[in-house]
Structure 1
């Protein structure tokens, strides 16, 4: 456990760099059209963005990252200064009103207008530390009222270990000193990728047409997220970094830990967007293998229906496929996955194989 990627240090591959400074971060809220951009870029340019995980600095964990991680054997010099600075600051954060997430941004993209799509392509994700946290809190998670079994938040410290097969998270099988271990592969991604909305700053937890806390684990390096622009310039923002997550994120959080992300920003004009994707009312992801329409709603059944409708519209616009035939294809050939069930608004995403239409 020796890695720490400090602000202004290490490899910064983007055309621009946006560090995480406590006085500029959003904590529990997302930027709105009233917030001035920290950076303005041209379409096609990339930005290296430092993100900070909220786990280890929240009020129910003591709001002191050095003390929290120190109890798990992490020396103070391996705790990100930004986390300690934010926790020690007078930054307004009310856990009863605000979300938990730390958000970096906003970034304006020249020429982005409502009706366009803003495309955020993940070019590179670098771990800033070699540990993370998986938390379960009372009243939340998929088994609210059943877990946690005891009072208080359960925050499971999770070190990163590396071997010949790559980097993994590691957990004990029990609390016994001689317990065995389980390892799982890392697949870093940003849980929050969004654009600003008009009016008040939105709560950071529920996702929506603006993107936000989508928690789609497919958004790893090489993936692109398309978001309908809500305000001039887009005002993109990112946060909620993960080292790994299973679809559903059933416990409430997955392996939460800080990342340095390099994203490329592009604008898809309204006319081109309609031809490529149809009437896109919400987020759409794309990987090398899949087109990934999404559906969102507090009711998981409705979220699934919304995702199916989005997939039908995509196939009709992109391939001219008759609606009833597209419906049949989706049933026979497409997986519909639960993105997450723990963010008030539940998420479903479909994986449409691009190779089927080559």
Structure 2
């Protein structure tokens, strides 16, 4: 299954502002690489929940169409941050004109205002219906391009969340680093800016002293990509599942493909939770959360081809140019690991013809199993299966 070429992450060049970095002064200058464009508005977004069987599409496209989505980050607009992104980011030196209009509009709207206590934090765009999609199909989501919409982002840690709930955040600890702040509710947020090198390489900068900065590479991806659940009840945005959703697999960057089992007619594709960077585990609770312009191709995979992609388990599955990626999900991390091994075995036996015992031996000898995240109530593990280990297998 060859991939078409995908551009690297990019951003418009602008002038300097806080901490000697630059920003994208007008996101409208970013390329629209898709046949269709879907902006995130009060009418096209949902806050904290995912599409279900009764969700009406906000856009309908053909099999194989490309869609450019302007995705909004929830960080900076959440109630524990004041639900006022202009004021929140002003505290970090960001002028009002550099706070995205769609984020401001959503924060000022009634979206999720009455039900925020029972919903997740994410701003989710969609659903997009794909003509002809039926249960039993796979929706293939190719990420073609990603562009930063800002030159800053946020990493947050909230009470009862993260890998160390009850230990961090620590309300008694003094925060001495200049861009790490505590909100009135105790949420700790770390503000990061972006440094762009002359060769195009981009890094996140996190200050931890008057002059010291941690500098880490950016590798943007979309944390939530999914299909509508067959459930009629509201679908919380936090736990991932068979529908995909909040997978937080950092390898789903430009050039990747995600395969999702279609559960309702039209598929109901949706996306949100854009990230500039994430470490496996996402231990504090969030990645470097920041808005992206993402272009994806939505294609249907059916019949024997679908079975060769994922085996028979019907779980989300992914691939990059170099790896096949099996995914395991469960509230228990040990069981998520077991599920990931089962998914990897199902894939290898269906795709390569290996028997299960030989595939098990191969996985033990040659495949890295990585913890995607431990913070989304349903935890994730993914297996990185090298394509180069199987010459002649497509």
Cα deviation, residue 161, structure 1: 1.3
Q: Is residue 365 of structure 2 the alignment partner of residue 332 of structure 1? A: yes
Aligned to 2:98: 78
Instruction: Give every structure 1 segment of 4 or more consecutive aligned residues whose post-TM-superposition deviation is greater than 3 Å.
Output: 4-7
Match of 1:21 in 2: 41
Q: Is the contact made by 2:308 and 2:347 (CA closer than 8 Å) also made in structure 1?
A: no
How far has the Cα of 1:95 moved from its partner? 3.5
Partner of 1:300: 333
Q: Counterpart of 1:22 in 2: which secondary structure?
A: coil
Alignment match, 2:136 = 115
Match of 2:14 in 1: none
Q: TM-score, normalised by structure 2?
A: 0.88
**Matching residue of 1:66:** 86
Deviations, residues 141-162 of structure 1 (Å, cap 9, x unaligned) = 0000111111600011111111
Q: Is this contact kept in 2: 1:5–1:129, CA < 8 A?
A: no
> Is 1:164 paired with 2:198?
yes
The 5-angstrom pairing of residues 176-191 of structure 1 reads: 178-191=210-223
Provide Cα deviations, 1:144-187, integer angstroms capped at 9, x if missing partner.
0111111600011111111235111101234xxx2411100000
Task: Give the CA deviation at 1:281.
Answer: 1.9
Distance 1:205 1:220, change over 3 A: same
State the alpha-carbon separation in 2 of the partners of residues 191 and 100 from structure 1.
Answer: 13
- Residue aligned with 2:216, SS: strand
Distance 1:276 1:138, change over 3 A: closer
1:101 aligns with 2:122: yes
Q: Do the aligned partners of 1:4 and 1:80 also contact (CA within 8 Å) in 2?
A: no
- Answer whether contact 2:225 2:269 (CA < 8 A) is retained: yes
Query: 1:202, CA displacement in angstroms?
Result: 0.5
The alignment yields a C-alpha RMSD, in angstroms, of 1.2
Please list every run of 5 or more consecutive structure 2 residues that lacks an aligned counterpart in the other structure: 1-21, 172-184
* CA contact 1:23–1:91 (8 Å) conserved in 2: no
Question: Contact 1:125–1:189 at 8 Å: present in 2 too?
Answer: yes
- Once the two structures are TM-superposed, the CA of residue 32 in structure 1 deviates from its matched residue by 1.2
SS in structure 2 opposite 1:96? helix
How far 1:5 moved relative to its partner? 4.6
Shift of 1:4: 4.1
Total equivalences in the alignment: 354
Indicate the residue corresponding to 1:89 in structure 2: 109
Match in the other structure for 1:214? 247
1:53 pairs with 56, 68, 73, which one?
73
Q: In the TM superposition, what is the alpha-carbon distance from 1:11 to its structure 2 partner?
A: 1.5
Q: Is contact 2:369–2:381 with CA below 8 Å preserved after alignment?
A: yes
In structure 1, stretches of 5+ residues that fail to align are none
Equivalents in 2 of 1:82, 1:105: separation in Å?
A: 15
CA distance in 1, matches of 2:241, 2:308: 23
